[in-house]
A = this chain, B = another copy of it.
Amino acid sequence: MCVAFSYERACHLHNNKCSYQSLNMEEENTVVVETEDVTVSVAPASPAPQEASSTQEEEEEEDRDEIFLSRAIEEAYKAVESGDGRPFGAVVVRNGEVVVSCHNMVLKHTDITAHAELIAIREACKKLDQINLSDCEIYASCEPCPMCFSAITLSRIKRLVYGANAEAAVAIGFNPFIGGTLKGADFHEKPQLEIKKVDGKGEEVFEKTKGKFQMS
């Protein structure tokens, strides 16, 4: 069977455009920002123009993150429903467009490296015909394991937004090795990458799929 074919089956390539104002990524050290699901900021009655603009940008970023993270979470459910693999999904985005949308294919491909993020990075490289993804962001249903986090770093992706903490996956039986990547000092010091944790539906994936797939 042709691997390219089966990857394409799992890796839906889209050009859906999400209208939003381009963000000015700050060049600062990596921070893990844990935010509640879509916090709506209320602007004061007579805001200074700069403050209003900042609030609008933040809201647009929240909306955008909600859309793409939901897509990654949908992929996580698809992985289990299809029997392709474990409940993990990932989406690579460039300029507000989905480049690739993928899920875990470990079982389908009998390949322990076929994690959602790794496949997404591989397919994004091919689709964009470049090995440097510094103009891309990645949305992952769960905190990436050390392998996937390293792949993200190697690819120079500029921003990571994720749902569940890895501990939620470890709690239902996944290899404890996958947890704690972002807590390691080595991985914190990546100035080119902004990391954002979004609470909410990411953790639900594991609760809802528990028992529907084999750990083997």
Contacts and interface: CB of A to CB of B under 8 A. Distances in A.
A49 interface: no
Interface stretch (A36-44, A64-72, A109-117): A109-117
Q: How large is the interface on A (under 10, 10 to 19, 20 to 34, 35 or more residues)?
A: 35 or more
Contacts of A153: 146, 177
A29 interface: no
A11 to B, nearest CB: 12
Interface in A67-121: 106-107, 109-114, 118, 121
Interface of A: 1-5, 7, 106-107, 109-114, 118, 121-122, 125-126, 129-133, 145-147, 149-151, 153-155, 175, 177-178, 180, 184, 186, 190, 216
Given A110-B125, A110-B129, A113-B121, 4 more contacts: A112-B132, A146-B186, A147-B147, A177-B190
